Structure 1
Amino acid sequence: MQACDKRILPRGGLSLTSLGLGCAQLGGLYQAMDEAEARAIVDAAWDLGIRYFDTAPYYGYTLSERRLGAALRERPRDSYVLSTKVGRLLLPDANVRPGENGWAEPLPFRPHFDYSYDGVMRSHEDSLQRLGMDRIDILYVHDIGRATHGERHAHYWDQLTHGGGFRALAQLRAEGSVGAIGLGVNEWEVVVQAMLACDIDCALLAGRYTLLEQAAMAPLLDRCVERGIGIVIGGPFNSGILAGNRKFNYEDAPPQVVTRVEAIAAACAAAGAPIQAAALQFPMAHPAVVACIPGAQSPAQLRQNAQWFAQPLPAALWDALAHASLIDGRAPTPRGT
């Protein structure tokens, strides 16, 4: 499986490269990134044949969208797929400081949650302006759910359902302003909820169907196959714990997670397979999945991801992981890659 291999989003027919580029790092996630490095990462992705790019207004408080748009605008618009997100309006605020919410050098705009009809429409328009483009291919609702909002989830869900947020997305799709709509979230439960409330095309699911955890498989991914809803896998390394650091869900990993990852890594080592390669390839075997979009801090890291993505792995690896109950025995595995 190569980075440039294409898969079709069942609804809407968009063609996504199997490996995409998640662009949170272009916004300075956890560490600063200068303009030249950001551009070099996008250029390296292009050279690898990657043609799917995902960003959001929240990333670097508009910084990622601005950088990605500048890097892509000179490319033929029909040659790539671009996704961004709604749910936060970024309003000018001179009090924004370095390091807020993990953004090393955010721009002076503060996020304000707004999932209403007017909020979605304004967010979409603002993103077009920042990107410098006339259309967005996929528009995701960003970070809706109890994991983000806690007790406020019901309030924001009401904005989506009764306040017109989902209606705005459907209108933009009907008008051809966007090609597909969905959710970009870190929890699978809210995607199931959304499937009952809106005719979504896809979902970007970060960290919830990975080599480390597969609880979303039967409740969500199998159902998506039945409904023709495509899944984009974000956070395939679970915030880094599957790539060699101790971060999980954007925080220090708890001991039980570290122990499980050490067992997975040992099984991978015994099979002669890098755990990073297994992490990138495993979710791609599920028929609901259309793309995997890890981020990258440098062109070298991106090229390494592409190598892991394409590296042949032994079938015995998946057998060993399933036998040790380190992956769900019912999960499809990428045999023959």
Structure 2
Amino acid sequence: MMTTATEQSQARTWVQENLPEIGLGGVAIGNEFEYVSDEEAYSTLQAAWQAGVRYFDVSPWYGLGLAERRYGHFLHNQNREDYFISSKVGKLLKASKNNKGAEYFPEAHSPNNVVFDYSAEGVRRSVEDSLQRLGIDSLDIVFVHDLSPDNKLLEGKWLEHFAIAEKGAFPELTRMREEGLIKGWGLGVNSPEPILKTIQVAQPDVFLLASQYSLIDHKNALNQVFPEIKKNNMALVMGSNLNAGFLSGSERYNYDPSKPIPTEYIAKRDKLREISQKHNVDLRTASLQFALYPDVAISVIPGAHTAAQVMANVQSLKVEIPEDFWQELKQQRLIEENAPVSFS
């Protein structure tokens, strides 16, 4: 079945008009960085709901099933029409006594191994498995996960997996959209190449742009990715805009705590902190708003594993940041001259 231009336009319009501007990312609730108890995870989800968060992003990868089970435990008590949820495909979970769960996420205590599968059958199986873990009957958005050159766990070259997805995952997700099982789909990746390539060969609606647009690093996304997204009338969900907590104080950069943080990033954060203090601006608040300023950005999904964190993130979008703060960042060449610095 071929998607018509009208159907494609309707899917993209739905995503752009309905997705809330702030959601809750699921990495921390999957115990990727540290141990979080079930009670603390549910308290965080409850706090998010009470604060008005109605968009929840998750993945089978986060805690190898743990995050989806926790989300499902909370969300199955809510009316399905009252919230939006996205999950991911490409990483099938298979339980085994001889699993590598402790190697990937030692604090998640998962019994699962992961198998990368970007075929049509694998993608449909992944969606069905996610729905079972979540205890719901549909997903709003599906992101093809980590189909990217930075994914060191892929066997073989990433382009070999992309070729499988081009013939398998991409058309199958389009069929799922036509069936009404999902509202839209795209990629969730940490590098620009897969996004630009997918635009050329498939019919996606929205991308999760992860680790590519922050106060630390945003030039390439701003000048290479955003123009293509806008030209094709697509949209971006903005992820890891705090660089996995780096900009809010964590001593890690993005998703590999064992990897040394580049000294230039530490120096840049120090300078950002200095100017933030001068203008009485919270750096986390500035980081989250900065991610939403581009006209192609429709939602930001910071992670949290405590009620206090999630409430602080929600409050950050309500704060007015003085124009002088952004102008000084540009004068100091800490952000690009053409970076948007207000909600237009």
The TM tier, using the shorter chain, reads over 0.9
Unpaired runs of at least 5, structure 2: 1-9
Aligned counterpart, 2:7: none
How much has 1:115 moved relative to structure 2?
Answer: 0.4
Provide the secondary structure at the position in 2 that maps to 1:83: strand
How far 1:213 sits from its partner (Å)? Answer: 1.4
Conservation of the 8 A alpha-carbon contact between 2:238 and 2:301: yes
1:29-74 deviation per Cα after TM superposition (whole angstroms, max 9, x unaligned): 1211222111111111111111000000011111111110110111
1:118-162, Cα deviation, whole Å (9 max, x unpaired): 111110111111111111000000001101047520221111013
Partner letter of residue 179 of structure 2? E
Match of 2:264 among 227, 232, 256: 256
Q: Which amino acid aligns with 1:167?
A: P
Question: In the alignment, what sits opposite 1:231?
Answer: 236
Report the identity percentage. 32
Pair 1:275–1:166, CA change in 2 (3 A):
same
Residue 32 of structure 1 corresponds to 35
For the 8 Å contact 1:321–1:327, the answer to whether it is kept is: yes
Shift, 1:103, TM fit: 4.6
Distance in 2, Cα, partners of 1:240 & 1:179 = 30
Q: Which residue of 1 aligns with 2:14?
A: 12
Matching residue of 2:117: 114
Q: Is the 8 A contact 2:292 2:343 kept in 1?
A: no
Cα deviation per residue 1:5-49 (whole Å; 9 max; x = unaligned)? xxx984334512211000111211121122211111111111111
Q: 2:304 and 2:143 mapped to 1: Cα distance?
A: 21
1:222 Cα shift? 2.4
Counterpart-to-counterpart distance in 1, 2:76 and 2:37: 19
Give the stretch that moved more between structures: 258-267 or 48-57: 258-267
Give the count of matched residue pairs. 328
Counterpart check, 1:283 vs 2:288: no
User: Which portions of structure 1, spanning 4 or more consecutive aligned residues, are displaced by more than 3 angstroms?
Assistant: 8-11, 96-99
- CA apart distance, 1:96: 3.4
- Residue 165 in structure 1 maps to residue 173 in structure 2: no
Question: Partners in 2 of 1:104 and 1:178 — Cα distance?
Answer: 31
Query: How many angstroms apart in 1 are the aligned matches of 2:49 and 2:11?
Result: 20
SS at match of 2:33: coil
In structure 1, distance between residues paired with 2:227 and 2:106: 35
Match in the other structure for 1:105? 108
CA contact (8 A) 2:64 2:108 kept: no
1:172-183 aligned at under 5 Å gives the runs: 172-183=176-187
Aligned to 2:223: 218
* CA distance 1:173–1:10, shift in 2 (3 Å): closer
Normalising by the residue count of structure 1, what TM-score does the alignment of the two structures yield? 0.93
Query: What is the CA–CA distance in structure 2 between the aligned matches of 1:98 and 1:270, rounded to whole Å?
Result: 45
| 1: CA distance, partners of 2:143 / 2:310 | 24
The unaligned stretches of length 5 or more in structure 1 are 1-7
2:276 aligned with 1:272: no
2: CA distance between counterparts of 1:318 and 1:259?
18
- Indicate the SS of the match to 2:238: strand
Q: Which moved more, 1:327-336 or 1:310-319?
A: 327-336
Distance across 2 between alignment mates of 1:196 and 1:236 = 26
Structure having the larger proportion of residues in strand: 1
Q: Which amino acid in structure 1 is aligned with residue 178 of structure 2? A: A
How far apart are 1:100 and its partner, in Å?
2.4
SS at match of 1:182: strand
For 2:13, give the aligned amino acid.
Answer: R
* Distance in 2, Cα, partners of 1:70 & 1:283: 30
The Cα RMSD (Å) is 1.8
Residue aligned with 1:330, SS: coil
Instruction: Please show how residues 185-196 of structure 1 align to structure 2 within 5 Å.
Output: 185-196=189-200
SS at match of 1:133: coil
Aligned-partner Cα distance in 2 for 1:270–1:254: 25
Could you tell me how far apart the structure 2 residues matched to 1:228 and 1:210 are?
Answer: 22
Determine if the alignment matches structure 1 residue 305 to structure 2 residue 309.
no
Indicate conservation of the 8 Å contact 2:88/2:142, yes or no. yes
Residues 188-234 of structure 1, C-alpha deviations (whole Å, 9 max, x = no match): 22111111111110011111011111121121112212222110111
